[in-house]
A and B are shown apart, each in its own frame.
Chain A
Amino acid sequence: MRWSRFFHRWVRDEESARELEFYLQTETEENIGRGMSPEEARRAAHRKLGSVTQIREEIQRQNSVGFLEILWHDVRFGFRMLAKNRGFAVVAVLTLALGIGANTAIFSVVKAVLLNQLPYRDPERLVKIAESDPDTPLPQTVDFTTTSDLRTRSHSFQSMSLYRDGAGAIVEQGQPELLQGMRVGYDYLDTLGVKMHLGRAFRAEEDQPETRYEAILTYRLWLRRFGGDPSIVGRTVRLSDRPFTVVGVLPASFHPILRSDRSILPEIYMPLGYDLKLPFACRGCQHLQLIGRLKPSVSAEQAKAELNTILRDIVREHPKDYDARTVISVMPLRDYMVGRVSTALWVLLGAVGMVLLIACANVAHLALARAHSRSREMAVRAALGAGRARLVRQLLSESVLLAIIGGLAGAALAWWGTAALTGLGPKELPRAHEIRMDTPVLLFALCTSILTGLLFGVVPALRASRVDPNEALKDSGRATESRSRLAYRNVLVTLELALAFVLVMGAGLLGKSLLQLLNVNPGYDPHNVLTAGAYVYGERYKKPEAELNYYNQVMQRLRALPGIENVAMVSTLPLASSDRYALHIQDRPLANESEAPSPDTYSVSPDYFHVMRIPLKRGRLFTAGDRRGAPLVALISESCARSVFPNEDPIGKHIQLGGRHDDKEWLTIVGIVGDVRQYGFDRPSSMEAYVAQAQDLDFAFNLVARTSGDPRRFEQSVRQAFLSVDNTQPIFQIQPLEDYVAESLATRRFTLMLLGLFGGLALVLAAIGIYGVTSYAVSLRTRELGIRIALGAARRDVLAMVLRQGVQLVGLGLVVGFAASFLLTRLLSSLLFQVRPVDLVTSLAVTLTLAAVALVSNYLPARKGSMVDPIVALRCE
């Protein structure tokens, strides 16, 4: 019934008042009867009864819904106080909005990328399985035969399913287009737990080399290329001149498994169609990807242990087929999909948290100053009977209210910021489409706001509530503050400076890394090069001569265009992917073939090295003379020459790439070229080997064209050149080589940009903090400074005196910051490049920058203090 009383209590209060008035009148009359004067009688009656207000409040409290009501009261009061103090409120809200907004925006990204579940059934049981050895830069592949051994012997998995990239050219209804897709085991979609939008998944009998001509479309492709035809299932689609039957359409919500560093979305799924008899199903033919669904009771670690035990048996049974160091890695699918970006995101979340701490410290300064000026108000409240807890609660309500207003503004800021982050984020920022401001993110903002409010409010509230009404009321509001209060402010400033130091240091280290990276010579010149993917299919290109002829005609047409300096073809573009082949030397047979070195292998047309400006070190490059039928030739890179032929001249040596086949022709090394950083500017060159395109067409090819001026201007010309030779063959991904470079650096740029932004923000906030504290300290000493000047102190000495205090504080802040950065920057080490976490030059630069900013924000108020007019100073207050 408390609620009904709650609503009727105004009536009841009125009755209580009347009742108490009756008591007072009766008592007064009786007192008069006892012989008192009327006034005395009334006063005595009041004394006897006690405070009418307090009794009424007591009765009210029995009727109230306690906590809520006091809170409501405090909130209303808080609003009034903030409205009265607009300047304070606006500055505090803006500061908090920046801090909370930035945190919310970054959290929305962290949540989408790192915390959200993958959109599959029981995603925590999905793992990525890969064979790897210490030489593999990114372990991700397996071979078919080993996988089928693992599958039969392992008991940890509900299912294991293979997949690989696949593509098909489609011509019907429109321009020839290369559809990117995947070839997958028949149980792939079932392993993920995907329900079809239309039709069905593949059947086991469709997953065979001869019968693998079914297809499943993604929802997007179904709409885009087939107009959402509801009767698509059963229709035949020609892909690269082969008929495929559409058996199903994936739901719109389906998300493919993507490597963290790939941004091409597969649009079509086809059966893998392997069996053990296929030559590329061999042990060591590692080009397939494998996912597994763990049994409910099995952990990824247990599965890994089991698979490795099985693998050791397999290696013992087939010692020649494996590198002795081969192991199997099993990692949660989510880790695989998120990849390297997770460190960067955690670092950013940490950094943005520090910015919020600094913002808190600044608002705490403001709240302290304001609490001080409100000490009379607090004293009056205390004198009227408010307990300390009540005062603290009221003050905390005010700061939490302030923080929530800040949080609202921050959420608005984050709304915009999240959109900006998604736009600015690296293209391959995994799961970027999942980034949004949803309920959990808003809840995060709310909790952050409340915590923030408590954090910056608690010390000022505790201090302000510790009032002695006697003292505070006597003292007519003169600004005096104890040393301990100043000490607290000094701690805040030290903390701010230290945090800012860490952030700026982090940004400095990342910045230096990026600069180092941009100065790295990747071994080729990526400027003004346009690239395009080519794809040939069909009966008419069965013969290698025809395919080569097609390429040569396209290149010929392009060479004739003004603005195109030179063109060439290559099987693998730098930074795009890699293609490793085992290298065998004729006069050096190996006991275990799988221990052969495996350089990245490229098939290139003769002009490739000119277009890419890869230098020839010794010997000769490929020429037009290295044609079909001519002696087979190869080039190797310097690092390959060094590690494979350490003490001899590689030129003239006979090698084979791929397996060792003594019945086949050997390639002669004719030259040595410069190293190329295939996997990224931040990864050292591994070995490279080149074969002549005319002599080996067993690859898919890309065009590279060196242009004068912006390569984008030639996109259309390149497309036309291909289509004019054959308008049924698709070309795709026409983009400057620099785009690949930019993409490979995008995560770094993104991290650096945000960390730089946060560092700058931290610096500005810290500068404001120092300025505020020094100004405050000076204002407290105005009288003292005035007296000193009146007594003849030189202004310079006064300035020095005030500055000295500030300088000590700045020094302390920098020392603490340096120590903290010493500990924290090692978390960055995986993001750094050729910079150690403790870098002397960066440290020095950061220290100088911060010291300069801190001293200026210290000097300005100090100077003002030293300029004080003694007469004014003594009169004031």
Chain B
Amino acid sequence: MPKRGAPPLDADLLQGTLDLLILQTLVLGSAHGHTIAYAIEHRSDEVLQVEHGSLYPALHRLEERGWISSSWGSSDNNRKARFYRLTAAGRKQLVQQTSRWQQLVRAVNRVLRPAEE
């Protein structure tokens, strides 16, 4: 269950990050929710434990913003599944958010490095 009552700043940060991860996952091609969840876990060497439940509202939100689109199709196990695909707007968003993320990482690192020396 998602933790209730976490401070809003953290929640926002996490939410933005999750959005970025989802978009990045979909660069490789369309996928359904289950795949996305596991893809994020695997690619981060299990460090990022995505709450699978929180994935779905995030997908819903991204679709509302027009960054991804969805359609019903057949999965590998031959079930009806909902597939998500990156839209053009989503692709642009991904580039922007990635560079912003990298700026952020660099900035944080610059702050942290002197302390390490």
Contacts and interface: CB of A to CB of B under 8 A. Distances in A.
Contact of B1 (A15, A22, A23, A54): A54
A50 to B, nearest CB: 3
Which of the listed residues B60, B64, B75, B81 has the most CB atoms from chain A within 10 Å of its own CB? B60
Contacts of A385: 4
Given A5-B64, A54-B1, A62-B61, A22 B51 contact: no
Contact of A49 (B53, B75, B82): B53
A32 to B, nearest CB: 12
B75 A22 contact: yes
Interface string A46-69: 001111001100110010000000
B34 A58 contact: no
A370 interface: no
A743 interface: no
Interface in A203-242: none
B52 A49 contact: yes
A16 B56 contact: yes
Interface string B71-113: 0000101011110000000000000000000000000000000
Contacts of A15: 82
A59 B57 contact: yes
Interface string A1-42: 100010000000001101110110111010000000000000
Number of chain B interface residues as a range: 20 to 34
Contact of B79 (A20, A25, A62): A25
Interface string A374-402: 00000000000101000000000000000
Interface of A: 1, 5, 15-16, 18-20, 22-23, 25-27, 29, 48-51, 54-55, 58-59, 62, 385, 387
Contact of A51 (B34, B53, B60, B75): B53
Nearest to A57: B57
Nearest to A5: B64
Given A16-B60, A62-B61, A22 B79 contact: yes
A22 B81 contact: yes
B79 to A, nearest CB: 6
B95 to A, nearest CB: 25
A27 B34 contact: yes
B34 A23 contact: yes
A23 B4 CA distance: 24
19 contacts: A16-B60, A18-B82, A19-B33, A19-B81, A22-B80, A22-B82, A23-B33, A23-B56, A26-B34, A26-B81, A48-B52, A49-B52, A49-B53, A50-B53, A51-B53, A54-B1, A54-B2, A55-B56, A58-B57
Nearest to B37: A23
B97 to A, nearest CB: 20
Given A22-B82, A26-B75, A50-B54, 12 more contacts: A15-B82, A19-B56, A20-B56, A22-B75, A23-B52, A26-B79, A29-B77, A50-B51, A58-B57, A59-B60, A62-B60, A387-B4
B1 A50 contact: yes
A50 B60 contact: no
Nearest to B81: A22
A769 to B, nearest CB: 39
A59 B33 CA distance: 14
Contacts of A29: 77
B14 to A, nearest CB: 14
Contacts of A59: 56-57, 60
Contacts of B75: 22, 26
Nearest to A48: B52
B70 to A, nearest CB: 9
A-B complex: 10 closest residue pairs judged by Cβ atoms:
A50-B53, A58-B57, A26-B34, A19-B82, A59-B60, A23-B34, A49-B52, A55-B53, A22-B81, A49-B53
Contacts of B79: 22, 25-26
A28 to B, nearest CB: 11
B34 A22 contact: yes
A641 B52 CA distance: 105
Contacts of B2: 50, 54
Contacts of A23: 33-34, 37, 52, 56
Contacts of A58: 56-57
Interface string B33-74: 110010000000000000111101100110010000000000
A19 B53 CA distance: 12
Contacts of A1: 64
Which of the listed residues B2, B52, B64 has the most CB atoms from chain A within 10 Å of its own CB? B52
A827 to B, nearest CB: 50
A48 B53 CA distance: 8
A170 B37 CA distance: 100
A86 B81 CA distance: 49
Given A15-B82, A26-B79, A50 B52 contact: yes
Contacts of B82: 15, 18-19, 22
Contacts of B60: 16, 59, 62
A66 to B, nearest CB: 15
A668 B4 CA distance: 101
Contacts of A20: 56
Which of the listed residues A19, A48, A387 has the most CB atoms from chain B within 10 Å of its own CB? A19
A282 B32 CA distance: 103
B9 to A, nearest CB: 20
A20 to B, nearest CB: 7
A62 B64 contact: yes
B52 to A, nearest CB: 5
Contacts of A26: 34, 75, 77, 79, 81
A54 B53 contact: yes
Contacts of B51: 50
Contacts of A62: 57, 60-61, 64
Contacts of B56: 16, 19-20, 23, 55, 58-59
B69 to A, nearest CB: 14
Contacts of A19: 32-33, 56, 81-82
